[in-house]
Homo-oligomer: A and B are copies of this chain.
């Protein structure tokens, strides 16, 4: 049976990415070797990482003065790498969920952290709007998309300090004004590649302004200088990332992806809003295009398990909500076809008719 993959991450990748990765495991770039067993210094792989860096720059229209890195360790490692490299005295953070809160915890090891706002009071069901960022902050850190709670900031705030963003779960779903940022980072396992690589976009002039010694592997300058090849990079995840980037370019780039993403989200949110049984969990204006969180209305709460069973019978995978929210979460990443959303909506309608 065809599966409809709504996992929150690692999550669905395009068939183009999967097929080309499978092929490279048999025979990579005509070398007669598997991509799993070629040197990262081989000319065939250096061509891969070079092209991947170039395509990220092209797709996100990254201005001069920025470097694109592919690092191991996950976005969680960036929670400490960002303040290691950028926090001199004070940084501003906004607390919009679990990952934002984890980033704040790490930053506090390095200096003063001004948490300018938090939506923890309402279980992170909204994005705080009215806050002041101190002008003497080294940077303002925010999580663009809160995977667990289903809220999202789909714009680049105009502030008086440089931005730093964790875009793990919505990078490549909208155009970004990179010039406002010192650092953008994203674990690849949502809109890019299998897990194991983190993309980091770093403004070179933002580096080298802190006094503390930085361990070599945690110093962005190490990886800038060596083009992400200071040590052995995660070869296979980078190869898969390149396939996804090529696929995005072929489909028309980021704006084309955004149109598809908005259409998918609209379809599902409309189904939720017009439903008698289901309800969204977050402030409508802060709804995520990537992760749609919803629950059974209280009077139908006991039917949750039955709906999950119906969904499973239709080939739907990964819509059980995170334990912090409960209910359901449908992740509509770039690679998810709208047909899968229709299958989910049909299942919701069928279920509603039955009860």
Contact = CB atoms under 8 A, between A and B. Distances in A.
Interface stretch (A200-208, A213-221, A282-290): A213-221
Interface in A237-274: 237, 240
A35 B3 CA distance: 13
A69 B335 CA distance: 31
A31 B7 contact: no
A236 B7 contact: no
Nearest to A1: B32
A339 to B, nearest CB: 16
Interface string A99-110: 000100110010
A79 B216 contact: yes
A195 B10 contact: no
Given A26-B22, A196-B237, A234-B195, A10 B36 contact: yes
A17 interface: yes
A40 B73 contact: no
Interface in A9-53: 9-13, 17-18, 21-22, 25-26, 31-40, 42
Contact of A21 (B18, B25, B38): B25
A230 B73 CA distance: 11
A92 B51 CA distance: 42
A85 to B, nearest CB: 13
A235 B39 CA distance: 20
Of A77, A102, A109, A234, most buried by chain B (CB within 10 Å of CB) is A234
A31 B317 CA distance: 10
A134 interface: no
A318 interface: yes
A119 interface: no
A97 interface: no
Chain B CB within 10 A, most for which of A8, A36, A77: A36
A39 B319 CA distance: 11
Interface string A62-77: 0000000001111111
Nearest to A194: B36
6 smallest beta-carbon distances between A and B, as pairs: A196-B234, A80-B215, A73-B73, A76-B231, A36-B194, A72-B72
Given A2-B32, A18-B36, A73-B217, 6 more contacts: A11-B39, A22-B22, A37-B194, A74-B217, A195-B232, A196-B237
21 contacts: A2-B32, A3-B31, A7-B42, A10-B36, A10-B235, A11-B39, A18-B34, A18-B36, A21-B25, A33-B317, A39-B318, A71-B73, A72-B74, A72-B196, A74-B217, A79-B216, A80-B217, A109-B215, A189-B235, A195-B232, A195-B236
